[in-house]
Structure 1
């Protein structure tokens, strides 16, 4: 009787630990602390690009997106707040670097990589 109970307990533990091991192997999507809606002000400091813009950018699971359709964002925000992105429209693109802070603000710089040479800064403020 004891042997049967021990065998049943061992089987139950092995089954449970296999389930935990399987769960550990699966990639779990953890929300990024910077997820949410951000208002981004883009200012040109050098070059013939438009002087300033303001856009609403959504960050979800650390990935940035823009719903306006005027341009594409391929960017990420790390858990520490570091920002790296490429913003493009047609053949024009800009490399973006900077940092978001826990206080709900952030800033950085951008530089174009196309035929028109421009550069500037950006400021961010969390909106939701």
Structure 2
């Protein structure tokens, strides 16, 4: 469950801006890298964006948010007693990157990279 929380975190956001253009819609492959703390070192997970709304491809998470018109990502994902916050940006070129921090029952942080796959 710890691994899944952090994987999905990469593209979870709660930016109250206008929904992103269709260029961000699709499935994104997200690589999560832990730089500090006891979370798994690295892993990859799919995230789906539809009409600017971000959702985890799977179950067991609470995901809220959207992608801002300029691709900015800011938000959170939670599961159980853990919450992870995310900041970063998606590019119109199909790539994105940023950072994440987990708190609650987890204490770790790191960076993420994303690539649009479809």
State the TM-score, normalized to the length of structure 2.
0.77
Q: Spell out, residue by residue over 1:16-65, the C-alpha distance to the aligned partner (whole angstroms, 9 max, x if none).
A: xxxxxxxxxxxxx8854211110011111000011122111000111110
Give ranges in structure 2 of 5+ residues lacking alignment. Answer: 1-18
Q: Which is helix-richer, 1 or 2?
A: 1
CA distance in 1, matches of 2:95, 2:61: 23
Bigger relative contact order, structure 1 or 2 (CA pairs below 8 A, ≥6 apart): 2
Report how many residues are paired: 100
CA distance in 2, matches of 1:94, 1:30: 22
Q: Which moved more, 1:100-109 or 1:29-38?
A: 29-38
Is 1:121–2:111 an aligned residue pair? yes
Give ranges in structure 1 of 5+ residues lacking alignment. Answer: 1-28
Q: Which is strand-richer, 1 or 2?
A: 2
Dislocated runs of 4+, deviation >4 Å: none
State the TM-score, normalized to the length of structure 1.
0.71
CA RMSD between the two structures: 1.7
